[in-house]
Amino acid sequence: MTLLPAPEPDAAPLAERMRPRRLDEVIGQDHLLAPGAPLAALIEAGHLPSLVFWGPPGVGKTTLARLLSTVTDARFLTLSAVLAGVKDIRAAVDQAQAQLPRRTVLFIDEIHRFNKSQQDALLPFVESGALTLIGATTENPSFELNSALLSRLRVMVLNALDTEALGAMLQRGLTDPERGLGLPADALPADVMRQIAEAADGDGRRGLILLETVVAGQTAGVALDDEGLQRLIGRGLRRFDKQGEQFYDQISALHKSVRGSDPDAALYWLARMLDGGCDPAYLIRRITRMASEDIGLADPRALPLCIAAWEAFDRQGSPEGELAIAEAVVYLACAPKSNAAYVAYKAARKMVAEHGTAPVPMHLRNAPTRLMKSLGYGQGYQYDPDAEGGHAHEQTYWPEGMAPQAFYQPVNRGLEIRIGEKLAQLRAQRGGS
């Protein structure tokens, strides 16, 4: 086994040393920085408005904010929303005002962690131009920033680094003689570099940390085989925030794949979420909801199958019980689809909300006591199983004075074909209700 030479010691981690010093060193954000792109156009015009950078970790939000302050000759102040409060905001504003007419960029990392009062404290200073605010967030600003502040910011979306961008970044970190590890381009096999990039999963910072770890391990004599890399890299978790944007995007993709009758895509998103650490109990609960919302009575077997999968998971746990969840997902995706019951229920709820508490007709009321019978409770009720054909056609089941509604409209798929035929017959006998 050939050992790599030990890189020159440096107190700073590789990820920090390789932080871009110029805009042309930024990798993976050409949609913002290429000629004519939104951010490039602002820089060229010499105009830097208040911004919010939205993107996953490790894609350069902090670095880009620093570089923008440099190219616009602005003073750079930074706050962490995790640690800072209104007092810190006011202190930063005071510093900015003391530097006028020189512009100050106030960078707030994880700005989504500011509460409403803290966000409100920024408003007058952003609006007056006392400083240029650049916020960084991994969460959807539409949900995490109040509308007043968001309306004063331009949102710039930063993308996760693709394989090509990560490869270029890792190669630069490996070979750069000044800030990088200063090693030959072929110091690590191509498949090892590929595995590091895959484990980074779009996060440049994580990629450089893993690169530094692998090189250090190789220098110490760790073989770069599957076992050795597993020890050095570990199991890379996919981007998945159990409470944030990634979470809701992926559950949406799973739901829509089931609804769109694509079992293969549905299995992919299920596996993605489980791989990212999503609670399987949450998934089976959502999947059971899909059985009622999207399949309904087109295939009444869907709901009990989901309940059975839920019970199987509760009994077996992970990972064995996850197969039952996968089986339910495949069944739902392949089943005929109908949201007729779902739509009917929503329409009924809407009507209830609009018409208030209509009294139950006397003939439909229960009469368990003599007094209630004497008051007419249950009087005139016709017991349907005893009627001809098992249905009392002339009997109404609606509040007095309320026109019967046809909320439920079966679709021409699955079992609802038969249900629709029967329901049409019953409604016709009832007088078209």
Domain end, chosen from 334, 367, 394, is at 334
Q: What is the mean pLDDT of each run of 10 residues along the chain (433 residues)?
A: 50 89 92 92 88 92 93 91 88 88 92 90 87 91 89 92 92 94 92 89 91 89 82 64 66 94 94 86 93 95 96 91 95 95 92 84 89 89 84 82 88 90 84 57
* Residue 200: closest CA among 164, 176, 225: 164
Q: What does the alpha-carbon distance between residue 212 and residue 202 come to, in Å, rounded to a whole number?
A: 17
Same domain assignment for residues 100 and 139? yes
* Both structure tokens of 83: 């640690």
Contact 77, 106 (CB under 8 A): yes
What's the CATH number where 376 sits?
1.10.3710.10
* pTM for this entry: 0.65
C-alpha 288, offset from chain centre: 20
Question: pLDDT value at position 4?
Answer: 54
C-alpha 52, offset from chain centre: 19
Evaluate whether residue 11 is within a structural domain: no
**What element of type H or E holds 258?**
helix 245-259
Q: What does the alpha-carbon distance between residue 363 and residue 180 come to, in Å, rounded to a whole number?
A: 86
The domain of 381 spans 340-429
Alpha-helical segments (H) within 356-415: 370-374
Question: pLDDT value at position 239?
Answer: 53
Same domain assignment for residues 148 and 106? yes
Same domain assignment for residues 142 and 196? no
How many domains are contained in the chain?
A: 4
Question: pLDDT value at position 2?
Answer: 45
